[in-house]
Amino acid sequence: MIVVIHWGTENHTVPDASQVFRAHALIDAGADMIFGSHPHVLQLLEMHKGRPIFYSLGNFAWPSFVRTAIAEVRITPQHRFIACLLPAVTNGGTPRATGATRC
């Protein structure tokens, strides 16, 4: 199950304690991965019990220059999750990768 959740405080670069608590509870309840949004800035990727939690991916389509990321999740045949944040920027609303293009 994939959870997409709107949470967090705008412009905070780290998730608050309530987000972490809720994210862990969602994974514990059976979520396979979580994608968060709302802070408008990039936040960390955490693995909890082998499942990825993307607290905030920032802004992907934004009119000004913004550092952001693209989430990549791969699931192996053994049902192991491999997740990473691929660096990207938007400039004038056009996203582009700025680093690795694969985990």
pLDDT digits (tens, 9 = 90+) for 63-102: 677 788 889 999 999 999 999 999 888 877 777 888 777 8
Q: Give the number of domains in the chain.
A: 1
Q: What is the pLDDT of residues 5-53, one digit of tens each?
A: 999 999 999 999 999 999 999 999 999 999 999 888 899 999 999 999 9
pLDDT given at position 96: 80
User: The domain containing residue 83 runs over which residues?
Assistant: 2-97
pLDDT given at position 59: 81
* Domain membership flag for residue 88: yes
Q: How many CA atoms lie within 13 A of 42 on its CB side?
A: 16
* Domain membership flag for residue 103: no
Q: Are 73 and 90 in contact (CB under 8 A)?
A: no
Q: Is the pLDDT reported for residue 4 higher than 80?
A: yes
* Domain membership flag for residue 102: no
